[in-house]
Amino acid sequence: MKGRYGEFGGQYIPETLMNEIHRLEEAYEFYKNDPEFNRELDTLLREYAGRPSLLYYAEKMTKDLGGAKIYLKREDLNHTGSHKINNVLGQVLLAKKMGKTRVIAETGAGQHGVATATGAALLGMECEIFMGEEDTIRQALNVYRMELLGAKVHPVKSGTRTLKDAVNEAMREWTNRVDDTLYVLGSVMGPHPFPMMVRDFQSVISKEAREQILEKEGKLPSAVIACVGGGSNSMGAFYNFINDKDVKLIGCEAAGRGIDTEQHAATIAKGEVGIFHGMKSLFCQDKDGQIAPVYSISAGLDYPGIGPEHAYLNEIGRAQYVPITDDEAVDAFEYIARTEGIICAIESAHAVAYAMKIAGTMSKDDIIIICLSGRGDKDVAAIARYRGVDLYE
Amino acid sequence: MSRIQEAFQNKKAFIAFLTAGDPDFDSSVAYFKAAARAGADLIEIGIPFSDPIAEGPVIQEANIRALSNGMTLERVFELVTELRKEIQLPLVFLTYLNPVFHYGPDRFFARCKETGVDGIIIPDMPFEEKGEINDVAKKYGVDIISLIAPTSEARIRDIAKEATGFIYVVSSLGVTGVRSEIKTDLASILASIRETTDLPAAIGFGISTPEQAEKMGRIADGVIVGSAMVRIIAQYGTEAEQPLYEYVKSMKEATARAEA
Chain B CB contacts of A14 under 8 Å are 53-54, 123-124, 126, 147, 149
pLDDT of A372 above 70: yes
Closest chain B residue to the Cα of A14, Cα to Cα = B124
Q: Where are the domains of chain B?
A: 3-253
Catalytic residues of A: 84, 106, 373
Q: What is the pLDDT of residue A380?
A: 92
Convert the pLDDT of each residue in B73-107 to its tens digit. 999 999 999 999 999 999 999 999 999 999 999 99
pLDDT of A138 above 80: no
Beta strands in chain A (DSSP E): 4-5, 8-12, 55-57, 69-74, 102-107, 126-132, 152-156, 181-183, 223-228, 248-256, 272-276, 278-283, 319-325, 367-372
Mean pLDDT value of segment A201-227:
98
pLDDT band of residue A7 (cuts 50, 70, 90) is very high
* Distance of alpha carbon A57 from alpha carbon B182, whole angstroms: 61
pLDDT of A391 above 80: no
Convert the pLDDT of each residue in A60-85 to its tens digit. 999 999 999 999 999 999 999 999 99
- Which CATH topology does B3-253 take? TIM Barrel (3.20.20)
Mean pLDDT value of segment B49-63:
96
Size of interface A-B (CB pairs under 8 A): 110
* Distance of alpha carbon A265 from alpha carbon A258, whole angstroms: 9
Q: Contacts by A285-288 with C-beta closer than 8 Å and gap 24+?
A: A285/B98, A285/B102, A288/B72, A288/B73, A288/B99, A288/B102, A288/B103
pLDDT band of residue A269 (cuts 50, 70, 90) is very high
Chain B CB contacts of A273 under 8 Å are 101
The beta-carbon neighbor of A16 closest among B67, B132, B170 is: B170
Q: What is the pLDDT of residue A392?
A: 64
Mean pLDDT value of segment A328-334:
98
Give this complex's ipTM: 0.96
What values do phi and psi take at A279, rounded to 5? -140, 155
Closest chain A residue to the Cα of B73, Cα to Cα = A288
pLDDT of A312 above 80: yes
pLDDT band of residue A393 (cuts 50, 70, 90) is low
* Distance of alpha carbon A375 from alpha carbon A386, whole angstroms: 18
Convert the pLDDT of each residue in B183-229 to its tens digit. 889 999 999 999 999 999 999 999 999 999 999 999 999 999 999 99
Contact (CB<8Å) B51/A19: no
Test the B interface: residue of A158, A276, A288, A294 with most B CBs within 10 Å: A288
The beta-carbon neighbor of B53 closest among A19, A168, A177 is: A168
Q: How many helices (H) and strands (E) does chain B have?
A: 12, 8
Contact indicator for A317, A242 with CB cutoff of 8 Å: no
Contact indicator for A140, A377 with CB cutoff of 8 Å: no
Contact indicator for A265, B89 with CB cutoff of 8 Å: no
Chain B CB contacts of A171 under 8 Å are 53
Quick check: B131 contacting A, CB < 8 Å? Answer: no
Convert the pLDDT of each residue in A164-179 to its tens digit. 999 999 999 999 999 9
Closest chain A residue to the Cα of B60, Cα to Cα = A158
Chain A CB contacts of B99 under 8 Å are 288-290
Q: What is the pLDDT of residue A166?
A: 96
Convert the pLDDT of each residue in B175-195 to its tens digit. 999 888 888 899 999 999 999
CA B174 to chain centre: 17
- Chain A residues at the B interface, defined by Cβ less than 8 Å, are 10-20, 158-159, 164-165, 168, 171-172, 175-178, 272-278, 283, 285, 288-291
Mean pLDDT value of segment B148-154:
96
Q: What is the pLDDT of residue A292?
A: 95
Mean pLDDT value of segment A233-251:
98
pTM above 0.95, yes or no: yes
